[in-house]
A and B are shown apart, each in its own frame.
Chain A
Amino acid sequence: MSSEWPLWEIFIRGQHGLNHRHVGSLHAPDAEMAIRNARDVYTRRNEGVSIWVVPSNSISASSPSDKGPLFEPANSKVYRHPTFFDIPEEIGHM
């Protein structure tokens, strides 16, 4: 039965002010039931204050085989990290 229901990706916001985070996926016939099911499957230990559901087939993903060209060029560019500034002492921890 569940294989006939479409797959949904579930995002839960743990606390006010934090971002929704991807927690997993589940099956449901529509968005309303996906939210109910997400409530029962993913928030039973008091994990959340807000739920987003997204049809899994609406997500476009980068291809794992493109990993080299997409991400490796960033490896050798330490100057892109803002670590070369001297922070005045009175600013304290940033």
Chain B
Amino acid sequence: MSGALEAVDRAVFAEWLQRIGDNVLILGHRVSEWCGHGPALEEDIALSNQALDLIGQCQLWLGLAAEVEGKGRTADALAFLRDAGAFRNLLLVERPNGDFGQTLMRQFLFDAFHIELLRALKASSDPRVAEIAAKAEKEVAYHLERSADLVVRLGDGTTESHARMQKALDLLFPYTGEMFADDATDRAMAEAGIAVLPSSLKAGWDRTIADVLAEATLTHPGEVWQHGVKGTGGKTGVHSEYLGFILAEMQFLQRAYPGASW
């Protein structure tokens, strides 16, 4: 424990942990918005399970972030008492749910990245990071299996479902570049051996995306202009207007009734 802590500045380590924790927290909240609105009972339950998986992972990552930070905060304090500018999630995960196809495409694009990240983190020099990654990897392997399968079914489905999936892909693809943009925090973490450079995950992600899109008969958008890759994206706290609305709903209770518990 002390070895990894000494290898990198505490603030940098905590910042990096918040990036992962915030990704799964915000995506988990987005997916939970489907609860009771799924297109079929079976889908509704599957989406709710997935939201709970992600929120559960967030508790582990933000719990470790609070511990590393060492300022006496908890995972709950990080989730419910930070303002939008202090969140470090990718812009992709705060995109609106849209129709079911859009939710599913966002999930697939993120799952394909998430699995690469967790597989790499299993070899982290910090055993706490490696342990959380190993636990989350099993859940995320199922998320990817499921989202990839549905992207193929709906992409290679009816004319209507194909058109919706292509539209969702074109809409969301400009938010995927941010996942692989390295910055000073990423480099410090990679040098300490705790993490890997995000750019090193791109080749694996590219393969998954190309294979699944081909099977789904969807057209790969290719090299397109990307949001948030010049150091002014969600990873540095520069968010879209959507995050404020998400936090207003997610944090309402703790803001209105500070310290409320049940």
Contact = CB atoms under 8 A, between A and B. Distances in A.
A27 B41 CA distance: 9
Interface stretch (B15-23, B24-32, B42-50, B204-212): B42-50
Contact of A41 (B42, B142, B146, B149): B42
Contacts of A36: 46, 146, 149
Contact of A1 (B40, B46, B49): B40
A36 B146 CA distance: 8
Contacts of A44: 45, 49
B40 A27 contact: yes
A2 B40 contact: yes
Interface of B: 39-42, 45-46, 49, 142, 146, 149, 153
Given A29-B153, A37-B42, 15 more contacts: A1-B40, A2-B39, A2-B41, A26-B41, A26-B42, A27-B41, A27-B42, A28-B42, A36-B46, A36-B146, A36-B149, A37-B46, A40-B45, A40-B49, A41-B42
Interface of A: 1-2, 5, 26-29, 32-33, 36-37, 39-41, 44
19 contacts: A1-B40, A2-B41, A2-B42, A5-B40, A27-B40, A27-B41, A29-B153, A32-B149, A33-B149, A36-B46, A36-B146, A39-B142, A40-B45, A40-B46, A40-B49, A41-B41, A41-B42, A41-B45, A41-B46
